[in-house]
Amino acid sequence: MAAAPDDQRPAPNLEAEAEVVSYSTEGPVAFVTLARSGFANAQNGRMTYAIDDAYHRAVEDDSVKVIVLRGAGKHFSAGHDIGSPGRDVDLDYPRVATLHYGHADKAGAERHYARENEQYLGMCRRWREIPKPIIASVRGACVSGGLMLAWTCDLIVASDTAFFADAVIRMGVPGAEWFAHPFVMPPRIAKEFLMTGDRMPASRAYEVGMINRVVPDTDLESATLALASRIAEMPRFGLALTKRAVNFAEDQQGLRDTIDGTYHMHHLAHAHNELTTENHLAGQNARSMAEKLK
């Protein structure tokens, strides 16, 4: 079945949410808070660029030594927005992560490839290279696109309520666009994680080395701030060089090439879906994906 024309999709209601990301500081620590709690902090285009703006603000502020990324409410992020009233996949935003043409006036695979190249792959590359340490503070769901937000951070502190999943196998897609899975966990664990789409609790994520710490939910904020404050005692340039060195080592092991290569496989799956099902998501939506996630 052919996909419905894009002009049949309702226009996004972007006025309903006054703020999708908030920014605050406490001493040398900047807090970037995902603020779409009514939609489990699902990431739309507007949120993507608001995160980027907040990161830019933290980088430019010399008093900020460490950045914390967190989610308001019960969940870190339910992933990419595939169903809220604020879903804005048909809108072009000024591109800051890539020198690529826009997507809104394109069709088929080119449309999805161009948008995700900027808003997902490009932004994740950009955020990974931020010279200041970033800590993801995770409670509740960290799913699919939410993993991309967390994995571009340098450290992850998780509540014992947190769970991690990449359930896009339900769409026939081989993992989220930032395909770091076999680098943040052992390859066989990554295969199980991807092939089942099942939840991985925080305790298991810690066992396989995906996250740094698991703490009681009531201690998440204080534990994250304590770690951020400890790191903030170190010289800024030393932290930047340390981050660059570890990222360089990961890239020498193949991280960047893997992500670049699997991005094309991701879009092959989307194109296949568009030819053989009702749309590039294989007919899935936010509700159906949530219902199937164990």
pLDDT digits (tens, 9 = 90+) for 177-235: 999 999 999 999 999 999 999 999 999 999 999 999 999 999 999 999 999 999 999 99
CB atoms under 10 Å from CB of 292, counted, come to 11
pLDDT of residue 195: 98
pLDDT of residue 169: 94
Q: Taking the CA atoms of 154, 45, 200 and 279 in sequence, report the sign of the dihedral they define.
A: negative
pLDDT of residue 3: 34
Give, in order, the Cα–Cα distances in Å from 64 to each of 31, 60, 162, 169, 188: 10, 8, 27, 39, 39
Regarding predicted confidence, which is higher, 248 or 96? 248
Amino acid, res. 157: V
pLDDT of residue 233: 99
Regarding predicted confidence, which is higher, 92 or 283? 92
pLDDT of residue 11: 59
Contact between 46 and 20 (Cβ < 8 Å): yes
Which has the minimum average pLDDT: 113-117, 154-158, 233-237?
113-117
Region 270-285 average pLDDT: 86
Confidence of residue 62 (pLDDT cuts 50, 70, 90): very high
pLDDT tens string 2-50? 333 344 445 556 556 679 999 999 999 999 999 999 999 999 999 999 9
User: Is domain 6-218+235-292 annotated with CATH 1.20.1260.10?
Assistant: no
Token output for 28: 């040398």
Give percent above pLDDT 90 in the chain.
79
Contact between 198 and 294 (Cβ < 8 Å): yes
Q: How many angstroms separate the first and last alpha carbons of the chain?
A: 29
Total-model pTM: 0.91
On average, the pLDDT of the chain sits at 92
pLDDT of residue 8: 47
